[in-house]
Amino acid sequence: MKLWFMLLWPALVSSTALAQNTAQADPTPHFLSRVEVHFRLYRNYLIVVQGSLGLLDGLNFLVDTGANPTAVDQRIAKKLGLGGHPKKLDLLDQSVTVEATILPTLQLGPIRAQSLPGIIQDLSPIEKNLGIRIDAIVGFGVLGSESFAIDYKAKKIVFGAIEALPFAVPFDAALPRLTVPLLVRDQTVHLLLDTGARDVLLFECRLRGGMRELPTHGVKQSSSSNNIQFDTKEALLSEARLGAADLGLMRVFVIPGKQSCGWDFGGVMGMSALGLREIAFDFERKVFSFRK
């Protein structure tokens, strides 16, 4: 089994290690009207839109709300003449070195970000798995300036004023990372909202009480783009709720041991695992809403 979240894990790890560098130098103003940007969908959950970076247009951006800062492929960095300085990041029980840089103007639909902190990475493993060129990975470091909605069925992102969807839950707006409370019986676990993840992942060392005693089976191994190996154990959650939505019986994957103890949230919520057709991030009301 390959968890796609594990493929994008290095980008997620960067969100904490480089948090002090994530503020946009030129925030995008509020849009006066709704703007729609169409995307291509891969593996039924991974979103790829076109945008520009500096003088390069028609680039493929992977939208991953669990990733920050923006990651640019080495090939694109070379074309743009980007330089930077090496920075070591702690990645679970290992360390990786990335190159921190400042990106030229980035355009994604109506969003225009300037002097954006970023990192240079080899994104070719993602390209090979998806069968499409990936030039950059963007998350809330770019998208967090304005409310937006994602319609998976119509394959479009809508920026600007959005309508609340049938189910809603408040989120913890600690940009560039957003978490929501998943209620399992009488216990709550805060999960990172991640469009780059396929499954629901729970960090064993962050679970408490009865959540730590989940019956698990089938220890399987997955790997990240940096060939770091992870053990995961499959489990079933019953009586799980997200806001007023009853999620019923839900399959999750538990990452055992101390691999993820450094995080201040208990896991990752992939949209595909919940079968969500539409999702919306309302930054004015700090609400995440969705349609099943």
pLDDT at 10: 43
Burial 59-89 (b: 16+ CB within 10 A, else e): bbbbbbbbbbbbbbbeebbeebebebeebeb
**Does 228 or 266 have the greater pLDDT score?**
266
pLDDT at residue 218, as a whole number: 67
Choose among 26, 46, 24, 278: nearest CA to 162: 278
In this prediction, residue 223 has a pLDDT band, given cuts at 50, 70 and 90, of very low
pLDDT of 231 above 60: yes
Q: Which two tokens stand for residue 275?
A: 């079968």
Of the CA atoms within 13 Å of residue 150, those in its CB half-sphere come to 23
Condensed to tens digits (0 to 9), the pLDDT of residues 242-269 reads 999 999 888 898 888 776 777 788 889 9
Pairwise pLDDT comparison (231 vs 54), residue with the higher score = 54
Q: pTM for the complete prediction?
A: 0.86
* pLDDT(72) > 70: yes
pLDDT band at 5 (very low <50, low <70, confident <90, very high): very low
pLDDT at 275: 87
**Contact criterion met (CB below 8 Å) for 204 and 254:** yes
Taken in order of first residue, the domains within the chain and their CATH numbers are 4-159 (2.40.70.10), 167-291 (2.40.70.10)
> Shortest CA distance to 19 belongs to which of 177, 139, 147, 171?
177
CB 106 within 8 A of CB 22: no
pLDDT beyond 90 at 155: yes
| Per-residue pLDDT band at 30 (split at 50, 70, 90) | low
DSSP assignment string, 171-226 = -EEETTEEEEEEEETTEEEEEEEETT-SSEEEEGGG--GGGGG--EEEEEEEE-TT
Would you say 278 and 291 are in contact if contact means Cβ atoms under 8 Å apart? yes
| Local structure of residue 24 (DSSP, 8 states) | -
Contact 39, 47 (CB under 8 A): yes
Over the chain, what is the mean pLDDT? Answer: 82
pLDDT for the residue numbered 16? 41
What does DSSP say about strands 229-242 and 287-291: parallel, antiparallel, or unpaired?
A: unpaired
Please give the structure tokens belonging to residue 237: 């959650």
Q: Are 182 and 169 in contact (CB under 8 A)?
A: no
DSSP bridge partners of 51: 59
Highest mean pLDDT among 15-19, 144-148, 225-229, 258-262: 144-148
Nearest CA among 207, 171, 175 for reference residue 189: 207
Q: What is the pLDDT of residue 291?
A: 94
